[in-house]
């Protein structure tokens, strides 16, 4: 079981670190866009749309890794003063009753959303925009699946902490 957990955590880490490199691409695209707009008075819809898509992917693919590293937003009014077992209870309950259900709802809803987009072969409505919008919409599903998997890993880890 521990080997499986480590492999899952490694997979999420690789995706998370990989998504951090999207920041470099995003900065490059924004600089290119600004350069083209102010020096040549030209702008391209595909660049603007790709900027938004990369921005979304950074968060979608990086969320599970952020959760894994415990760097997500948390209201730490009392949590910092808790013992490790109390923190495990809070994390376990939060994952079981908030994170996992929300991920399941999002996966279901976004799968329908992406499937409909795929079914109609949705493209950008803007002239010169990006084709195949369903690809980015399926990435929403993938991001929530990663978050769900990381939530399961956290639940297992917190149960182990409480059993010790």
pLDDT per residue as tens digits for the range 120-150: 999 999 999 999 999 999 999 999 999 999 9
Task: Say how far apart CA 96 and CA 132 lie, in whole Å.
Answer: 35
Question: What is the model's pTM?
Answer: 0.91
Helix (H) or strand (E) holding 42: none
Task: Say how far apart CA 1 and CA 3 lie, in whole Å.
Answer: 5
Instruction: Report the share of the chain in percent with pLDDT over 90.
Output: 91
3-state DSSP assignment of residue 87: helix
Residue in 143, 100, 145, 142 with CA at minimum distance from that of residue 91: 100
Residue located via tokens 């929530």: 144
């Amino acid at each position: 079981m521990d080997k499986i957990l480590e492999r899952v955590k490694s997979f999420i880490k690789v995706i998370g670190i990989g998504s951090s490199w999207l920041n470099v691409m995003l900065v490059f695209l924004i600089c290119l866009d600004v350069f083209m707009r102010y020096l040549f008075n030209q702008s391209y819809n595909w660049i603007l749309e790709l900027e938004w898509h990369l921005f979304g992917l950074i968060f979608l693919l990086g969320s599970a890794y952020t959760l894994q590293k415990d760097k997500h937003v948390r209201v730490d009014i009392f949590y910092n003063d808790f013992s490790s077992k109390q923190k495990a209870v809070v994390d376990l309950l939060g994952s079981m009753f908030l994170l996992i259900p929300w991920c399941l709802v999002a996966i279901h809803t976004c799968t329908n959303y992406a499937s409909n987009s795929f079914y109609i072969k949705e493209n950008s409505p803007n002239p010169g925009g990006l084709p195949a919008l369903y690809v980015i919409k399926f990435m929403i599903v993938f991001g929530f699946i990663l978050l769900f998997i990381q939530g399961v890993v956290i639940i297992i880890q917190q149960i182990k902490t409480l059993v010790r």
